[in-house]
Amino acid sequence: NESSFQFDELTEKLYSWSANGADKVKLNQYTLDYLVPSYDMVALKEVTEDQLYEEVPMRGEYTQLPEIPDRVRELALEITEGKTNYYDKVKAIENYFDRPEFVYDKTDIPYPEGSQDYVDQFLFETMRGYCDNFSSAMIVLLRANDIPSRWAKGYTTGVTATYKGKQVKKVTNNNAHSWVEVYFPGTG
């Protein structure tokens, strides 16, 4: 029984459809082939501001921000000061979190109080958190630099386990993860 997949640009979800494309279908089994992407560093560093404005799909969506504290915006610009291309700006922001005062920790993470900004609290006060803290802060710093980016949430591959005599992948909440995606025209 043939079926096809269609990408919904509005929801960014992939759906399986019947062979004639008339009905969504639930597949009991499917095979997915995946090519590991490779990126040309020279091409990434050559992305121009004009390309970002002209070629980035849904650019406004991927650069929008709520009202953020001034010191967050100032930090974003300070981190990228002197960087002449978008790749180097992205790497500067990513590397900012390698500083020793930032600690990856999943236990007893403080929550913002009242109207306190989540990212501001992480960047300037606690500097301690897990993937959601780091990835949210990176997205805000990127977007404050007008760099199209998005926050993604999913799971790592899990661990191999045996279930009813079969090898399966066991994926639990411990495999939950969030990360940052940045769009580079001509590359992805």
Residue 59 has a CB neighbour count (10 Å cut-off) of 15
* Rounded Cα–Cα distance for residues 103 and 111 (Å): 15
C-alpha to C-alpha distance for 60 and 146, rounded to whole angstroms: 9
Parallel, antiparallel or unpaired: strands 103-104 and 128-129:
parallel
Helix (H) or strand (E) holding 84: none
pLDDT one-digit tens code per residue, 103-124? 999 998 988 888 899 999 999 9
For the whole model, what pTM was predicted? 0.77
Residue 1 clears pLDDT 70, i.e. is over it: no
pLDDT tens digit string along 55-73? 766 778 889 999 999 999 9
